[in-house]
Amino acid sequence: MGDSIEECSDCSETFTQDGVLLKQAPANYMSHINAIGTLYITECPNSSRQRFIEWKPNEITIEPEIQDQEWALVNTIQKRSRTLSGNFQPDYHSRPKYIKFSFNDIKSFRIANKSRQLTFYDGKSESMCSFLFNNGNCDMMVSLIKTMLKTGPSRRDKHLFIVYDSNNLELQRLDRSFAELNLQNDGRTFWNMVKNIRDHPYEATFEAFAKVTDYVYRSPEQREIDDNQREDLNRSLSEYENTTTHSQGDYEVIAKVPELPPRKDFPRLRPLSVEQWRGHLNCEGKIEDVESIKTLIFRGGVTPSLRTEVWKFLLEYYPWSSTEAERQKLVQTKIDEYYNMKLQWKRMTKVQEDNFSDYRDRKSLIEKDVNRTDRTLDFFAGDNNSNLQMLNDILMTYVMYNFDLGYVQGMSDLLSPILQLLRNEVDAFWCFVGFMNKLISNFDIDQAGMKEQLNNLHTLLAFIDPKMSDYLDKHDSGNMFFCFRWLLVWFKRELSQEDAMRLWEVLWTGFPCDNFHLLVCVAILITEADTIIQNNYGFTEILKHINDLNGRLDMAVMLNKAEGIFYQIKEADHLTDNVRLILGLPLLGNQTSFESHEQSPFDDSAELSNGTQPYCSLEHVRISPDEVTYERSLNSSFL
């Protein structure tokens, strides 16, 4: 490992993960045991596309341009282990600088400690390396490895995964078996048949299996079939691909999925103007028609000169019902609260910091992220920039405000546009608090919030575009991981600063439904569907393609299309309660109140007799997705 492999300067990074502790390694790497570093999957662009696992300790200098690369997958922060390197004092220059080994050397790997520990084996009963993931877990990395290697769980240990290679006897026998069938050159017909029999046992068994049985029992020299027979066989195997099943007792009724109504066009309007804003304020400075203001913002955003005032309402710094006098009094209270919290960490002594590992780790991570956040913008450019210090201080104060969450990679991206707009430390802090209150589930340690959103995104895509959804499922991409960054920071990395701010203020209105940002994702995926399907992209290619959309998305077009998709869904005759629940629409046959859903002018559903909206507890949300989709690429979470 490491020194024995020739360095490839052209290798590209497919995956990176910070905060990974080296728990076990060969003897010549003992100086790095219990050190924290960064774990990579790299790929060399040669004919063999050789891939490597690399781990580099933090003490090795990383070039700024490499540090600032777009991160495709991001992990949340969990309690970190202290570095216990005091027992090792070797000469720095005499030890290997990093660990590197080829995918070809991996014969198996094991997941342990609630998916926080990943150990690789070389097939000689010895572990090659063992890594402990302090910032989240190893599920992202494992999901990617499974798309690059043929793997399968061990029969004796469900946490141990065996890597199959071309020399594996069991795999050779399996390949020979399918080669004998020779149903079609690409070998997919047989697997389609198996899937269809599993999903539709009655119809597929009686119609398709009879044909396959007859074909299989011929001798090899008799197995050649003509084009008509092959077309007939394929048709029988795929006839039910676009159907849904409804369980009724001991049998299933299979029906064709109805078509969606035509998609309407919703062009974007002009931003909320100063005249419109002033016209909604009474003599006390109170907004008289909040719903009308939100509708105008949803339709066109906010005029840039008004944002410093309007954003404070959208981000719940100012209550919508407040008067001008009440807001002035509130500001003074918030100033005092902010500086009291800031003094808490400013006055912390070095001894206190040394004995407070959680605080120390979060402070270090903030310093690292601040130094690479939006440095290409004039507001944050240059050395000794006071705006960077302000960004750092706000994030550090948020650690004291919400220490259970602390700081997670990605939060600096959410704060940056707010600070750049308001240019006031206190105002930016409280607006950031309001934004985090809307997205706080994105940064859960167990990542349940992100998993639920990814699952909901898959549900919406399956309803709108079953073909695209089915393609992703069949290409190990039904987990929707490639949309992770979109959801985490609401397209901050995909759009220009102005477009990101326009999108955010539209989403902050909460119109026209719950989780409208998921429909924005659906709109983009539908637009890119033909490219993905025609090029037969797998998970890695889809991830790269999605990341390459950076700077190429038209925000107005995606909002137009997303709103059209919402009304398509709302007007569909076959709308399910699953989809209704995601979008906050009334559930069929439910007569209780949906307290968490704010009535919107876009929701023309009749109110119940008690004046409330239908309600369904979030306890009924099925967070766990389809077993087949998640088991291929994720054991429990993605981030």
The string of DSSP letters for 350-419 reads HHHHHT-HHHHHHHHHHHHHHTTSSTTSGGG-STT-HHHHHHHHHHHHHHHH-TTT---TTHHHHHHHHH
Q: How many CB atoms lie within 10 A of CB 327?
A: 17
Mean pLDDT across the chain: 76
Token pair of 491 as six digits: 């397209």
More confident residue, 31 or 228: 31
Q: How many CB atoms lie within 10 A of CB 285?
A: 13
- How high is the pLDDT of residue 94? 47
The Cα 334–Cα 330 span in angstroms is 6
More confident residue, 378 or 91: 378
Helices (H), ranges, 477-590: 484-489, 497-508, 516-534, 539-547, 555-571, 577-583
- How high is the pLDDT of residue 175? 53
pTM: 0.58
The model's pLDDT over 95-150, given as tens digits with 9 standing for 90+, comes to 456 888 888 888 889 998 888 899 998 877 578 899 999 878 888 889 889 888 88
Please give the helix or strand (H or E) that residue 54 lies within, else none.
Answer: strand 51-57
Share of the chain above pLDDT 70, in %: 69
- How high is the pLDDT of residue 62? 38
Q: Where in the chain is the domain with CATH 2.30.29?
A: 2-164
Q: Where in the chain is the domain with CATH 1.10.8.270?
A: 315-442
Q: What is the mean pLDDT of residues 49-65?
A: 68
More confident residue, 253 or 510: 510
More confident residue, 81 or 235: 235
Considering 233-247, 283-297, 599-613, the range whose residues carry the highest mean pLDDT is 283-297
Name the pLDDT band for 279 (thresholds 50, 70, 90).
very high
CATH of 2-164, one of 2.60.120, 3.30.70, 2.30.29, 3.40.50: 2.30.29
Q: Which residues pair with 15 in a beta bridge?
A: 41
Helices (H), ranges, 263-323: 274-279, 290-300, 307-314
Name the pLDDT band for 614 (thresholds 50, 70, 90).
very low
Q: What is the mean pLDDT of residues 234-255?
A: 45
- How high is the pLDDT of residue 448? 83
More confident residue, 194 or 614: 194
- How high is the pLDDT of residue 48? 65
Token pair of 84 as six digits: 């216990």
Q: What is the 3-state secondary structure (H, E, C) of 317-331?
A: CCCCCCCHHHHHHHH
Q: What angle do CA 509, 515, 518 make, to 5 degrees?
A: 120
Asked whether the predicted pLDDT for residue 88 surpasses 60, the reply is no
Q: Does domain 447-496+515-633 have CATH number 1.10.472.80?
A: yes
- How high is the pLDDT of residue 150? 84
- How high is the pLDDT of residue 168? 58
- Phi/psi for 630 (5° steps) reads -80, -35
Question: What is the CATH number assigned to the segment(s) 315-442?
Answer: 1.10.8.270
Name the pLDDT band for 634 (thresholds 50, 70, 90).
very low
